[in-house]
Structure 1
């Protein structure tokens, strides 16, 4: 790509520092400048149109250009553009959205606390776990169990619960209160000749052995995504979640389910906890809560979790935490309208109806000589790529992702996989278009690497 002086690309390279990139590389190459979006499509500043196969960052449930969300945002801006929820004050949109979240939660819940991102929500949930342990007099019960390959954000606490080296290296993370157990992806970590049932038993033994090693009296909570997203769309093995919950109950350890990616229809149910039979104490949500039209996240908690925290705030005199934008009226108004649209248009049902076609399309792609296997649930999936013997890890998947972009499809390569998470509004015909672009990209890369 030739970058002209004073172009938008040149100004971006000169002034903006980007997340999740090689910064020196970005200074030389720049990035793709997206200017507009419509439905499942986005268009760059040269006029090229792409299918957004990852829904932005796993998040634009309604697709791009939903006018009802723009209208609600404008109306709320004009009525009350900002107010806070500090010091015994509140406003209508946050009340209405909190009520809806409690009512649609997959298990009985009590209260909702709003934040602005998944990282922020997981970070606060961690603080609340520690606050609650202190409230109960369990001063040593502070450790958090995350999982290898799990992703929960990039703040100091949420980044420490995350189990990905790229989010730890050179940041002095993880904190020593955070420990990690095995990743339950049978495809990646099953031993030769090991059945899936035996793999699940080994994963559960790893978890219980870690608890006993650290001391159950020191462990406060277990964090887990129902399906691991940013780790590469990693599916839990059969029986895994039932076994995990039995172990946590045995040792009085809280369960925090991170549904930042999975929530609000992605798996064919409103929440992945319903799909996989998970009954959490705390549910963390973001992304599809507002289709990412506004920064918004929420911590939904049951009464067992909430009551000791409320008691401690009464003893101290205050719950000493808050963000300026917590429960922002424009964000919560947009979130409320977004969830209404998901319900009115039966987009959760759309996912359930399209799941067979989506997973079947991935399975067909897995027959390509460059592919290894496929996996997924609902409209969340991955195509595992065979690594190249003469290249670095992940190079094959990166080459295919780049070829997909050339074909007019934006997806994401993670490790040896290319991952898919299209907007919930996608149609059967558009799934064919998306996977057609992948098939062409696979052939292009195969020919170039022959």
Structure 2
């Protein structure tokens, strides 16, 4: 692309586009980077520069940026039935096939799938389903929702209330009342001196039990949780965490919603994060890698415990009054089906396990670096926590500054990723090769050395 055309694109973008999760004034003054093409794990910008997309876009592009089979699946479906809906007892074959496929893949018995268009919509739908369910059971007080600090569940009014991040709440008058947030299960930052991971997990389970007793189990509809927390910093739960937390929920008969938006479809080296951690949810939330984000689609999968009262309530009310125009869009559903077929045919779940071991071994070597306090993750998702002092885990000047410098250094290495505070997140496409993974990690190491030179006394 000619440079003047590229600068025009960036100028037009800054002139007309309000970006998500962006400083609008900064973007208006500086403009951003415009991507024009994708190729495997790479994206190519308006100047022709090739970048490793080390976060799979937004944790989502499992098959990379140029999978022809997904393009062909969309084209075939567009030529047959480009749109139909699922309202008032209507359906179409891609939707039926995808629902059946997901129920068959479920790690625990599930009953029905409700389709939406994004993770935010799916989590918002799950909240409404639970409230509807509680009313169907004749328990109108059973409406409070438990989530966690640093959780990310979306940005609609309901799902943003689940999210445990101040920058998602600030200025929006969120969270809504009735959304309760527990401590994040980050042992490195939240563990007490001398505390083991098991003891830390026991303390967090006791926190959950105390909260439920204080609020009253009869007032709590469910707990929402990511198996491994993604956008909050790639926080892998400590030893014993999920068995202890689920024991408390079972004791109080409170449903568990597993938000698999990032973990689902192979990211952790198992098909679902719930499998990896032995979680037995009542509701599961899917998006992102469901279609490799080639088209927007998400899903809420519910078990019979949730479905039966909801169905009976819909009969009393003559309808289940919820849905979106594009719920279960036929083209998105066709792409999702092809995407799942490719993940299975190419053994990408096992590949994520094997390459994940390689990635985490390389990340563990980085703990010798003067700026690295911790590396963590599972499968093909990881994070590097940066500190100025390994002894007291202190930041540079203000929290997040080291992470910003590292992101900038990685950009100079033509690696696109994101710092989450002082943690650098890595979530490459599942199709990444061994050599590409090694190249990515070499560039990460070079970027850390660059930052070390900038901040050395």
2:368 is equivalent to residue 367 of structure 1: yes
**SS where residue 368 of structure 2 aligns?**
coil
CA distance in 2, matches of 1:154, 1:144: 16
Task: Kindly state the Cα deviation for residue 365 of structure 1 after the two structures are TM-superposed.
Answer: 2.1
Name the counterpart of 2:391. Answer: none
Task: Kindly state the Cα deviation for residue 413 of structure 1 after the two structures are TM-superposed.
Answer: 0.3
Name the counterpart of 1:241. Answer: 242
Task: Kindly state the Cα deviation for residue 170 of structure 1 after the two structures are TM-superposed.
Answer: 1.0
CA distance in 1, matches of 2:120, 2:269: 24
CA distance in 2, matches of 1:269, 1:6: 43
Deviates more, 1:30-39 or 1:258-267: 30-39
Task: Kindly state the Cα deviation for residue 366 of structure 1 after the two structures are TM-superposed.
Answer: 2.4
CA distance in 1, matches of 2:329, 2:15: 32
Q: CA RMSD in A?
A: 1.3
**SS where residue 115 of structure 2 aligns?**
strand
Offset from partner CA, 1:117-150 (integer Å, 9 cap, x none): 0000000000000000000000100000000111
Offset from partner CA, 1:46-67 (integer Å, 9 cap, x none): 0110111000000000011100
Name the counterpart of 1:203. Answer: 204
Asked if 2 retains the 8 angstrom alpha-carbon contact of 1:55 and 1:421, the reply is yes
CA distance in 2, matches of 1:88, 1:257: 28
Alignment of 1:297-446 (within 5 A): 297-387=298-388, 391-446=397-452
Task: Kindly state the Cα deviation for residue 185 of structure 1 after the two structures are TM-superposed.
Answer: 1.2
Asked if 2 retains the 8 angstrom alpha-carbon contact of 1:109 and 1:303, the reply is yes
Task: Kindly state the Cα deviation for residue 254 of structure 1 after the two structures are TM-superposed.
Answer: 0.7
Offset from partner CA, 1:356-413 (integer Å, 9 cap, x none): 1110111122221111110010001000100575522111011111111110111110
**SS where residue 72 of structure 1 aligns?**
helix
**SS where residue 231 of structure 1 aligns?**
coil
Paired residues, number: 449
**SS where residue 227 of structure 1 aligns?**
coil
**SS where residue 144 of structure 1 aligns?**
strand
Q: TM-score by structure 1 length?
A: 0.98
CA distance in 1, matches of 2:349, 2:438: 20
Structure 1 residue ranges without an equivalent (≥5): none
Asked if 2 retains the 8 angstrom alpha-carbon contact of 1:268 and 1:355, the reply is yes
Task: Kindly state the Cα deviation for residue 29 of structure 1 after the two structures are TM-superposed.
Answer: 1.3
Asked if 1 retains the 8 angstrom alpha-carbon contact of 2:198 and 2:241, the reply is no
CA distance in 2, matches of 1:17, 1:243: 43
2:266 is equivalent to residue 260 of structure 1: no
Name the counterpart of 2:80. Answer: 79
CA distance in 1, matches of 2:143, 2:450: 51
2:20 is equivalent to residue 31 of structure 1: no
CA distance in 2, matches of 1:66, 1:441: 30
Q: TM-score by structure 2 length?
A: 0.96
CA distance in 1, matches of 2:146, 2:352: 31
**SS where residue 436 of structure 2 aligns?**
helix
CA distance in 2, matches of 1:358, 1:270: 19
CA distance in 2, matches of 1:389, 1:181: 24
Alignment of 1:108-127 (within 5 A): 108-127=109-128
Asked if 2 retains the 8 angstrom alpha-carbon contact of 1:3 and 1:9, the reply is no
Task: Kindly state the Cα deviation for residue 224 of structure 1 after the two structures are TM-superposed.
Answer: 0.3
Structure 1 residues 345 and 6, CA gap change in structure 2 (3 angstroms): closer
Alignment of 1:122-141 (within 5 A): 122-141=123-142
Offset from partner CA, 1:342-368 (integer Å, 9 cap, x none): 000010010111121110111122221
**SS where residue 270 of structure 1 aligns?**
coil
Asked if 2 retains the 8 angstrom alpha-carbon contact of 1:118 and 1:152, the reply is yes
**SS where residue 267 of structure 1 aligns?**
coil
Structure 1 residues 53 and 390, CA gap change in structure 2 (3 angstroms): closer
CA distance in 2, matches of 1:351, 1:119: 26
Deviates more, 1:366-375 or 1:138-147: 366-375
Runs of 4+ in 1 over 6 A off after TM superposition: 2-6
CA distance in 2, matches of 1:410, 1:109: 37
Alignment of 1:52-63 (within 5 A): 52-63=53-64
CA distance in 2, matches of 1:196, 1:348: 28
Asked if 2 retains the 8 angstrom alpha-carbon contact of 1:233 and 1:419, the reply is yes
**SS where residue 409 of structure 2 aligns?**
helix
